[in-house]
Structure 1
C-alpha cells in the first residue's frame, strides 16, 4: 500500500473575487471623444533566438503540506555546542576498534573505552608485525610486572603455549621470586639458583647446547660463544687473539677427555685443559705446547677463581635434572643471586642460550614466550652479542621474547643490544620520570613529538602501546581478581610487623599481626 501523502494532487481551481476590467473614462464632460485613425505599422521581423534546453530535473523532493504543518521538517531538539576535538568521537571511523579482535586482551583504550587486544603470534600471522619480540619500559612501580605476569604469562598459558620466565625480582615477604606463587598455582616448582650449593645448577657445556659454533646467524649461540662471553666477564676485558686460540684448543680437549671417561664435560675441565694442554691438540693447532700454556695462564687462573667464588654452586657440575621444559610454565628463580658481580648475567645468559638450543632441536615447534624481568642484566657487557644472536632467531623458533627494562639509558648506545630494542615491534612504555628518557623513547620508537609530555604524565598501570606501524594507544591495563592476587608485589610495603621492646633485655623483637 502506497503512502497516501506521496500522491501528487492536481492543483485546485482558483476561486474568489476578480476585479472587472477598467474602461477609459472621459475626464472632461460634454466633449466627445475623437476617433483616431489607426496607423498602419509594418511588422518588424525578429531573428529567431535559440533557447537553451532546460536542465533535467533530478527528482527534487517535495515538502508535504500536512507534514510541514506538523513540524516534520524542523529540528525537534535544540542542538548543543561542541568542539572539533570532542566531535571526533561521533565519527565511527575515528572511534573504530584500535586493534584487531584476535589475541589476548590487554586493557581498555583510555580515550574511547574500547578493548585493546594483541597477541604477537596472531599479529605476525596477520602481517601486522614482522617481529614477535616485545619490549616493556618504565620506572619502578609503574606496573610493568603486572603486565608481564598477566598478559605475557597467565593469559598465554590459557592458549596452551609454553612460557619460560627468568624471575629476577625478590619478594620481600616470601624471600623468593615474585613468580613463585603463580608457578605453584599451576603445580610447578620454580627452579632456584643460589650461591650456597643448595640450588639448581646449569652447565655451560651442557650437551643440549651445541658444541660446534655454526657459521652465520642461522643457529643459536653455542658453547664456544658462551665460553668467550664468560671468560671476558671474568677478565673484565675482551679476549686477546692468543687467549681466544688457547680457549678454543682447551674446549676441544675438555670435550674429548670427558667423552673418553663417559661423562659430561663441565667448565672445570676447561681450566684443566688450559693449565695442562694436550700435545696432540697443540700439534693439530700448529702451536707449541709451552706457548699454548703461556697464552692460557691468565684465562685459566681467572676462570678458576670465578668458579670457586662468584659462580660457586651454579655452573660447576652437570645441569640439574629439574632444569627442563616438561611443564607448560618454567620459572628460573635467580632472585637470590647478588645484583653486583658476574653471577647474575652469566646464569641468565646460560639459561638463554640453553633455551634457544633446546627449541632449535625440538621435533615439533611449540609457540613459546620467554619473559625476562630486568633484562638489562642480559644485554650488558660481553653478553649483549649472545643475546643479540639468540634474539634474531625468534621467528624461526616460534619464540616471543618479552624483555623488561627500566630506562632506555640502561642500554649503552654502542651496545649490540640497542638493535634488539629497535627491532621489537610491540612496545609498552610506562611513565618516565626524566625528560631525557622520555625524549629517547620518542626518538628510538619513532613516536609523535607530542608523546613526550604524555610519557611524563602517564599514571600507574597505564602504558603507551605501539604495535607495528600503527599509531600509539594509551591503554588502561585490566586485571581479574585472581590476577590481582597473583601480581601483588607490595606485600613487604604493606607488612604488619612491629617492633616490641623487651624491658628486661632492651632488645627489640618482631611481632607479626596476622
Structure 2
C-alpha cells in the first residue's frame, strides 16, 4: 500500500500471550487501521513526514459529476511515409469537385457529392475544351438516354437551342413539346407520304464567317453561291455512292456538278440574290429538285457531253431510285416540311423510316442531315446542340463520315455543339479495317471530341474503351461496375469524374424509355 503502510500501528506480543489474547490484539489493530484510513481519506489525519493534513482519492480521482477524471495523456503522433498513388487509395475521403461551371446542372459527383454542371460554350471560354463535340457511350439499360435528355433539356432551359437530327425511336418528341410554346409543334416527321423534304434547298444565307485569325468577314455573293453548290454537290455525290456502292469517276463528278448548275438555271433560282433576311420558305420555293437534276443529267449541253462522254446518263439512272424506289415521294419534290427556327428544340422524327431497307434509311438520314445543316450551319442561327442518335448507323459509310468530320471541325465557326451517341466504342470498327480511309475518318471523329461520357461497359468492351479513351486503371474499374444512371465524364485533359445523373419526377416521366416494357 505504499505510504499508507507506514501509517499503520504495529502490534506485537510475547510468547506467554494466549491464543485468545493474540486474536483480540489483531482485531483491535485492524479497527485502528480502519480508523486511520478513514481519517486519511476525509482529511482528518496528518502526514507524519510533513505534519500537513492530506486527502487521498482512488485511482480514478474524486467521484464528482463531469470531472473528466481519467487518463489525460496525449500519445505522440506516428509518422508514416507512402507514395501519392498509395495515399490516393488509402484516404478515400479526399473528394472530387465539379468544373466550377454554373449552367446545365446534370447530377452529383459520386466521390464527394459536388454538383456537376457543364455548359460547352462556357467550358470553351474557360479553355477547358478546344473542340465543340461530345461522344456519349453506353450499352442498353445503362441510363445513357436519360443522361443525354437531361443534359440537352437543361442546356435549352439555360438559353441554348437544340436539334435532334434523327429520332428513330420517337422518344424526343415529348421532351420537345414540353419545352415548346403552346400551339407550336416542334416535331418534323419524315417518311410519311405527302411530307416532302427537298435536300437541295439552299438554306439560310449567313451574314459573315470567321477567317483564319478569328476575325469576322462578310460573305460575298460569289462565296455564297460556291457554298450552296458545294453542299448540293457533296450531298448528291454521297447519295450516288450509297446507291451504287462505288466511288464516282472524274467524268461522273463533272457531269453531276454541271447538272446541278443547269437545274438551278432551269428553275430560275438566283442564289446570289439571296440575303440573310431571305426566309427559308422563299429560298425553298425556288430551289431545284432531284428530278430536275436527273433531267439535266440526261440532257447535258454539247460541251458537257463532249467532256464527260455520256457519263451523266449512268448517274441519272442511279438517282432514279430516289424517284421510283422505296424513297419515292419523300425527297423528290419541293419541301412541304418547314420548321420554326425560333423553337427551343426541334426533332426530326424518322421512326416511319424504320420499315425501309438499310440502304434507303441511310440515304434518308443523309438527306435529313444535309437539309437541317443547310439551315443552322451559319453563325446567325445562334448556339445550338445537334444530337445524333444511333450514330453507329453512319459509321460504315465513308461519305457520311466525311460530312460528320467536316461538321465537327467547323462546329466552332457555326456556334454548334455536336453529341454523337454510340452503344460502344467498338462501333468505330464498323467503319472499316485498320488503315482504311473509313477507319481513319472514324478515329479522327473521336480525336476531335473533347467531351467523353462513358456509362457501364460490358467486360468484353472494357479493353477497347480504355485504350481508345486512354482511361486509367481505376477509371476502367469504375465503368465496369457503374450502376444505372452513373457515368464517367472526361472533359478535355482533366481527371475523369463519376457522376450520378439526377432527374426530377416530371423528367422521369418525359424520359421514360421503358414504358413499353413496364406498362
Q: Which residue of 1 aligns with 2:237?
A: 228
Q: Secondary structure at the match of 2:185?
A: coil
RMSD value over aligned CA atoms?
3.3
Out of 249, 259, 276, the position equivalent to 2:299 is 276
Q: Distance in 1 between matches of 2:483 and 2:229?
A: 39
Out of 393, 412, 415, the position equivalent to 1:377 is 393
Shift, 1:156, TM fit: 1.1
Q: Which residue of 2 aligns with 1:452?
A: 476
Shift, 1:367, TM fit: 1.3
- Counting helix residues as a fraction of each chain, which structure ranks higher? 2
Q: Which residue of 1 aligns with 2:313?
A: 297
Q: Which residue of 2 aligns with 1:60?
A: none
Shift, 1:490, TM fit: 0.9
Shift, 1:409, TM fit: 2.2
Shift, 1:492, TM fit: 0.8
Q: Distance in 2 between matches of 1:434 and 1:128?
A: 31
Shift, 1:459, TM fit: 2.2
Shift, 1:146, TM fit: 0.6
Q: Distance in 2 between matches of 1:354 and 1:97?
A: 41
Structure 1: which 5+ residue stretches go unaligned?
A: 1-15, 18-68, 77-82, 171-176, 496-514
Per-residue deviation, residues 237-292 of structure 1 (Å, max 9, x unmatched):
2112221121112111111111179943101111111111133xxx2x5x528x54
Q: Which residue of 1 aligns with 2:454?
A: 429
Q: Distance in 1 between matches of 2:475 and 2:131?
A: 23
Out of 185, 192, 199, the position equivalent to 1:189 is 185
Q: Distance in 2 between matches of 1:97 and 1:401?
A: 25
Q: Which residue of 2 aligns with 1:21?
A: none
TM-score, length of structure 2 as denominator length? 0.70
Confirm or deny: 8 A CA contact 2:259 2:293 kept in the other structure. yes
Q: Distance in 2 between matches of 1:141 and 1:165?
A: 21
Confirm or deny: 8 A CA contact 1:193 1:314 kept in the other structure. no
Confirm or deny: 8 A CA contact 1:213 1:224 kept in the other structure. no
Shift, 1:353, TM fit: 3.0
Q: Which residue of 1 aligns with 2:274?
A: none
Q: Does 1:248 align with 2:243?
A: no
Structure 2: which 5+ residue stretches go unaligned?
A: 1-48, 51-68, 77-85, 206-220, 271-284
Runs of 4+ in 1 over 4 A off after TM superposition: 69-73, 83-87, 212-215, 217-221
Shift, 1:209, TM fit: 7.2
Confirm or deny: 8 A CA contact 2:378 2:414 kept in the other structure. no
Per-residue deviation, residues 165-187 of structure 1 (Å, max 9, x unmatched):
124332xxxxxx11121122233
Q: Does 1:202 align with 2:197?
A: yes
Q: Distance in 1 between matches of 2:296 and 2:287?
A: 15
Q: 1:318 to 1:462 in 2, by over 3 A?
A: same
Q: 1:169 to 1:265 in 2, by over 3 A?
A: closer
Shift, 1:434, TM fit: 4.4
Q: Which residue of 1 aligns with 2:44?
A: none
Q: Distance in 1 between matches of 2:506 and 2:414?
A: 31
Confirm or deny: 8 A CA contact 1:190 1:333 kept in the other structure. no
Q: Which residue of 2 aligns with 1:404?
A: 421
Q: Does 1:178 align with 2:171?
A: yes
Q: Does 1:344 align with 2:368?
A: no
Shift, 1:349, TM fit: 2.7
Q: 1:434 to 1:301 in 2, by over 3 A?
A: farther
TM-score, length of structure 1 as denominator length? 0.71
Aligned pairs for 1:252-267 (under 5 A) are 252-259=261-268, 263-267=286-290
Q: Secondary structure at the match of 2:113?
A: coil
Q: Distance in 1 between matches of 2:389 and 2:331?
A: 21
Confirm or deny: 8 A CA contact 1:195 1:312 kept in the other structure. no
Q: Distance in 2 between matches of 1:368 and 1:133?
A: 12
Q: Secondary structure at the match of 2:509?
A: helix
Q: Distance in 2 between matches of 1:322 and 1:333?
A: 13
Q: 1:219 to 1:423 in 2, by over 3 A?
A: farther
Q: Distance in 2 between matches of 1:219 and 1:423?
A: 26
Q: Which moved more, 1:343-352 or 1:136-145?
A: 343-352
Out of 465, 470, 485, the position equivalent to 1:441 is 465
Per-residue deviation, residues 29-78 of structure 1 (Å, max 9, x unmatched):
xxxxxxxxxxxxxxxxxxxxxxxxxxxxxxxxxxxxxxxx99777379xx
Aligned pairs for 1:411-426 (under 5 A) are 411=428, 412=431, 414=436, 415=438, 416-426=441-451
